[in-house]
Structures are given as C-alpha cells and as structure tokens.
Structure 1
C-alpha cells in the first residue's frame, strides 16, 4: 500500500534495502520544509540501532559519528526536506527511473548516506553523517546553519561531501552570490512638461550600459573553471502614465568565483557602479573546492576522476566557513530539482554508493 501526501508512510526505515528501494521509502514519507519531524524521527531511530555510531540530535537535525581514531574525518551531509509536493507522490519506478518529489533533490543522496552508515562499521576514515532540515527555505531556518552555530564541534572534519544532486559527478565548491540595489533619483514632473523634471528611468541607462559592457572573469581553481556573472535581475520605476518618475531601482546579482571573499565581491561591484549609490541586500560567500587536499584527491579518483565547478550556491559554503573543504556529489540530476516530473536514475544511485564505498574502504593516501 502506498501513502498519501501528508501521512506517515513508514513504521521504520529498513537500511538493508538497496539504495533505490530505500530512496522510494524516503520519498513516500513526505517531508516538506518545516514538516520534517516524522522523517527525522525515522532516521534517528534507524541510526540508533547501529552500535558502531554515536548519534546526536538537535531539533530536526541528526548527526551520527564513528569514533575509530582514524587520521582523517569526513562529513557526508544531506538535507531531509523537499519543496512542496506537486501531485508527485507516491513514488513510482519505471525501468531505471524512480519518479517522485525529492527523488533527485535529494532523498537519493540521503539513501546513499544511510546505506553507508549501516554497512560501513569500520571505514578507512572516521565518518560523520549529517541529516538536516529546512534547506529549501530561507537561510535563517537552515538546519546545517543552526548546527554550525550551536554545535560546531559536531561538524569538525578534514573534508566534507554534500550529497546534493550533481549527476553522479563531483561539483567542486560553489559560487558566491551578492545582490545589490542601484538607486537612481530624479525630479518628478508632469509628462506634458517633462523639461521641468529629471527622468530617473533614463538615468538607469548608464547603469545598464555598464552591465552590458561588463566582461566577467573566468577563473581556474583546482583545475575547475568558474565563470562569473554580473546581471540586472530586476528594474522598477514609474509613478503613472503621465508622470516623469523621480526614482528607478535596478537590482543586480553578482555570481562570483570562490577565490573572492564577500568583501572583495562587494568592493568590486561598488567599483563597477562608481558614482551611483549601491545598497547590498543579500550576500553569501562561495566555497573553494579544496581538490588539492589528500582526501579530496582520493575522493576524486574514486568517483571517476572528473570534476566540474558548481554553478550556484550550496551548503558547501557553510563547511568552507568552518575551514572544511567540501564538494557536491550526489546521484540526482540538478536540472530536475523542484520539478513536477522530478526523477532519479536507479543506476546512478547504485553507482554513487559503490564509488563512495570504494573510497571509504580502499587505501588512504598519505598526507606526506
């Protein structure tokens, strides 16, 4: 029997299921942002049944750790929440594809985490498994952010893997993001006597011209190519059809390579718009890929030897802020996240699990 959205689907999580079947069970337990408690309870219960793990809980966030005294510690992290259900529950399998809300973003990644937690009692590195809530909503509610603030010691590690959808390929680090408002002012007047006013919308032409002429950087970091972008994403102005406007606001989004700090990104944007008032409305730092670290080199080799830059912001930036290099690596397809027809490849789930298992059981590269 399948569950209906909003009802509890499972009495317990069976971690002996294969990754695809476990993904389906997780998908069939709805966990829209802010409503993750039932799924969190199930994850906590399943992990507490594993004697080789120490389990802690903070709100609807669960952290499970091995304590083997290994030379390195790695975090595997994933969020439990999904965007609102869009008539795409319960899950259904068709051939190699599993359909349903959260299949790609990111219950397939969570299933891989749980499988590894259950089946690797003695990995070659100490492991910390992090399952957190409210990733799909505003940053102030993000469970990983609240964990980092309340219990930063739980997240200490040499390397972290965020199981975000990446198409079963390593996506290194993430871009930083900065949003600003460039405010143009003028003098209001009747449109029939426009010479008595000063049109603020016309003043925006120079701002837009600077954006059109802007040449973004392409930056190579750890062999990954990050492309920056500075773009107008909103423009507002106008009072009425017969009024010369006295204000126009252009909102600009700067997506920048992680070799810049937020302060450097802000200074750069202010330089581009020198002479205009600039108000910062949102800022989040990027994250370096850290692919030069021994754990990262071994991880990249174990996962196919190929990597690409992460275009967009993810919670790897939170690990970077804690001094922990991190990458994105999960079986889901990022292009399918949040879509009504969201789905994930069952073979990609199995591939991700096996590659992580190989990395966590093979020889450990020396730090020398």
Structure 2
C-alpha cells in the first residue's frame, strides 16, 4: 500500500495481487466506519480502474465493476465497505490498524467484512476471464439504518447494473454456504398511566407496571423452527429496549417496550406483523421497521452448482442480510464468506488468514 502526494487527502494504492490475507489487512488499515467510507471507496475505485477487463461505475461511495465477455450466466459478488465504530475498551484488538498474532489477523472489519471484500478484489484482479460474467458490487452504509444503504441506493438508481442470474454476498459464514435469511420486524408497544408523587402512588396509574403483561407474553412465547426449501430457520421474538419514567419520585405515566421479531422466510412482513399483533392483542402497537427475508433458492442451476463446488452442506442464515434485496429483485442469492459471524462487531474481531485464502480458492475453482 503506497501513497500519492496530492493537495488533498493522499490516495491509497492497493495491491490486488498480493496474498489475499495481506490484502485484508490493508483494507482494515483504511478506517471505514459507516458514513466515512470515502477513503476506502477511492482506493478500491482507483485499483479497479487499472483493470482493463472491467467496466467501472461509481455512485457515491458504492462501486460496481463488471466483466462483459458474453458468458451464458452473470453472477454478482457483493460486499459492504463499512464497519461498525471502533471499540472503546482499552486493549481491544478489533480496531484499526490491523495486527497479527501468528496467522490470525485482528482488526475492525476482519470478519465483517473486509475479508470478503479482499476476496472480491482478488478475483477481480486475478481471474480476468471467468467462466461466468461477474458483477462486483462494493457498497456503503450497510451497518446503519436501511434507508442509508448503498446497495439500496444502487437498486433505486442503477438497477440495470445489478441484473444477474445469481448473487453471492461475502458475509462471514465460516466458508459454508448459508442460504436466504430471516426477515426482521420491529414494534413499539406503548402503555399509558397517570402521573403522581410516588409517596401517594394510589393517586396514579403506573405505566411501567402496565407493561408487565407484555414482557410476560414475550417470555412465555415459544419461537418456531420453520423448514423452508430444506433449510431450518429458527425464529425469535424479544423485547430489546424499554423506556419509561421521568424521575425517582414520580409514578410513570408512559412506558414503551421495543420488540424485535426475526421471522422465517416463509412469511411476508405482513404475515409477521399479524403474528406479533395476535400475541400482544389488546396493546397499543406501532410497527417501526420491517424487512422481508429471502428464501434460499438453492435449487436454481447457478446456486446448486456453487453449493456442489463448495462441497459442504448448506445452512440457513438466521440474521438479516442484503441477500434479501437481491431476492426481492428476483435474483437467487446466498451468503458465503470467510470468518466466524459470531466475531463480527466484537472487541477482538479477527479472521484466520487461511480461512480467507480458502474462501478465495473455492470461488476461483467454481469460476474457472
């Protein structure tokens, strides 16, 4: 990684043909917390524009680079550039710059998901004539509110660039294909009471106490495991936040419980909403956010051949990922990338160098 002297911020050059684990470290060293991806986007765009076999388009801090060789199939390899904020705990290793411990790479984004982005870039540079046309998608603002998503912006403004037969999102999956994803929906449940001095509590009505049945129903709820196209998706419904009260000597007159339901991809958001409203019937519920899941779609020719090439039994994706955006466009998509998703966002975020190399090798085999 070298720098060019200029009147503004230095342009960072990335060597896309170096060992993919070292490339991962170089990407980690360019801090790219959500909303501040421009330096990394600049470096990636500059590197991709040196590759004559790619047609490169930039939209904000999102970049699309595509081969145009007239192959029978086109696939998308997609990954987000942003990370969550750096850890604040002293001594944390999941930060910037990166560091090594033997063959393990530590740093913010090591698993989520600069290892996957490094694999994309390595393929772009070293597989100039793949057996399928490839559209590489690098996008911003995945880790924040959905309306800021760079992939969502590309879908709205450059949808023609995203036409494909199959998509692979290089989120961390420990090198195993994870099909589809659960959907997610959020609610606020409101209870209301009557404020009073806590020394004369009988003069008021406690809104926090009124929320107790909501918590009781959620605690007693037995989430389902739903089989969808051969994969078993585990659901969950939980209270994730609670707000109420104004002072230590006042009976609260309002309380809000925030609820998150992760639902299997056999349901639409409307059907998921009906499940929550049935469970919490009688309470004032406000739906604040929802995103559909994605069915695995592994029976289509392209994903079936990819699963066979990876050689591992596919698993379901329990969390929501951007495969849902591709699925909504009619593009079957899976998650496949290096690293353990359980380490994402952690203070010791790390990835084994060999895991990144193995992920690259599996994709190269399939594409060659």
TM-score, normalising length: structure 1: 0.90
Q: Is the 8 A contact 2:28 2:97 kept in 1?
A: yes
Shift of 1:348: 0.5
The residue aligned with 1:293 is: 300
Give the Cα separation in 2 of the matches to 1:80 and 1:242: 48
The residue aligned with 1:167 is: 174
Give the Cα separation in 1 of the matches to 2:299 and 2:97: 42
Shift of 1:190: 4.6
Give the Cα separation in 1 of the matches to 2:208 and 2:86: 41
* 1:259-298 equivalences in 2 (<5 Å): 259-298=266-305
The residue aligned with 2:90 is: none
Structure 1, unaligned runs of 5 or more: 362-368
Aligned partner of residue 292 in structure 1, secondary structure: coil
Aligned partner of residue 72 in structure 2, secondary structure: coil
Whether 2:126 is the aligned partner of 1:125: answer: no
Structure 2, unaligned runs of 5 or more: 88-92
Moved more, 191-200 or 218-227: 191-200
Q: Is the 8 A contact 1:177 1:284 kept in 2?
A: yes
In the TM superposition, what whole-angstrom CA distance separates every residue of 1:186-222 from its partner, at most 9, and x where no partner exists? 3344545545443333332322222222221111123
Whether 2:93 is the aligned partner of 1:92: answer: no
The residue aligned with 2:19 is: 18
Q: CA RMSD in A?
A: 2.3
Which residue of 142, 151, 163 corresponds with 1:144?
151
Give the Cα separation in 2 of the matches to 1:200 and 1:84: 35
Give the Cα separation in 2 of the matches to 1:119 and 1:269: 49
The residue aligned with 1:64 is: 65
Give the Cα separation in 2 of the matches to 1:26 and 1:196: 61
Shift of 1:49: 1.8
Give the Cα separation in 2 of the matches to 1:59 and 1:269: 38
1:213–1:330 distance in 2 versus 1, CA, 3 Å: same
* 1:201-216 equivalences in 2 (<5 Å): 201-216=208-223
Q: Is the 8 A contact 2:269 2:290 kept in 1?
A: yes
* 1:169-184 equivalences in 2 (<5 Å): 169-184=176-191
Shift of 1:127: 0.8
Give the Cα separation in 2 of the matches to 1:85 and 1:202: 38
The residue aligned with 1:337 is: 344
Give the Cα separation in 1 of the matches to 2:279 and 2:231: 26
Q: Is the 8 A contact 1:23 1:108 kept in 2?
A: yes
Q: Aligned residues, how many? A: 358
Give the Cα separation in 1 of the matches to 2:233 and 2:81: 29
The residue aligned with 1:111 is: 118
Aligned partner of residue 52 in structure 1, secondary structure: coil
Which residue of 347, 355, 358 corresponds with 2:362?
355
